[in-house]
Amino acid sequence: TVPGSAAAVTRAAEAVGATRTGHVRALHSVSFEVPAADTALLRTRLSARPDVTSVGVAHRRWFDDEPADPKFAEQRNYLAAIGLPAAWDRGATGSPDVRVAIVDSGVDVHHPDLAGKVVGTHNAVTGGTDVHDVVGHGTGTASVAAAATGNGVGIAGAGRNSSLLAVKVADVTGRIFTDDLAAGIVWAVDHGADVVNLSLGGPTTDRLEKAAVAYAEAH
């Protein structure tokens, strides 16, 4: 939308039965949910407005497979393949000042390998802070990125001393849509993420998703 027009666009969409589900101010985007039968009408109405720059459909994304190795011995081969133990030997173990955003299914913030490492949480679907991970994918990804290491528990994390931002972009059934994904990326950037990890993907391109990535790159 044109900056400052979100409220007017929302009223226009609601007039044809749509419900607003999201608003990313930094990208001037507003998301709506509408019955499938009314999708074409909503697109036509919004596309005709001078304060709407583009109209698109949120696309679904899926999680990539992640290893679920519980012990360092079982991690050794693939960690060695990327030279990680050698990097640790040279002191490259991360820093609490480095924030890694796990934009994913959520994170178990009470997990013994992650407790105390999560410095911020955001649920991009609900707008709240509850990042309960019903899938487990985000918890695994967070652990690979920055699990506490040398504590006799679980696995070793790549950037083991780094801090984590837990950003949930999956709904209660584990589905991911690109409007929530974009909102999650922007939140992470705005809350100091040095790295934004997206272990997910899909077969389609998406304008809003690209805009969110560009926003991250610009910062």
Report pLDDT for 190: 98
Q: Please indicate whether residue 72 or residue 16 has the higher confidence score (pLDDT).
A: 16
Report pLDDT for 64: 57
Q: What is the pLDDT of residues 182-216, one digit of tens each?
A: 999 999 999 999 999 999 999 999 999 999 999 99
pTM: 0.83
Report pLDDT for 167: 98
| 178-183-187-189 Cα dihedral, nearest 10 degrees | 50
Determine what percent of the chain falls in helix, strand and coil, rounding each to the nearest 5. Answer: 35, 20, 45
Helix (H, G, I), strand (E, B) or coil at 102: strand
Mean pLDDT calculated for residue range 107-115: 95
Mean pLDDT calculated for residue range 27-32: 96
Report pLDDT for 12: 96
Residue among 51, 66, 37 nearest 143 (CA): 66
Q: What is the pLDDT of residues 49-98, one digit of tens each?
A: 999 999 999 999 987 543 334 677 778 888 888 888 888 888 888 899 99
Range from 31-35, 128-132, 155-159, 212-216 carrying the lowest mean pLDDT: 155-159
Range from 7-11, 70-74, 174-178 carrying the lowest mean pLDDT: 70-74
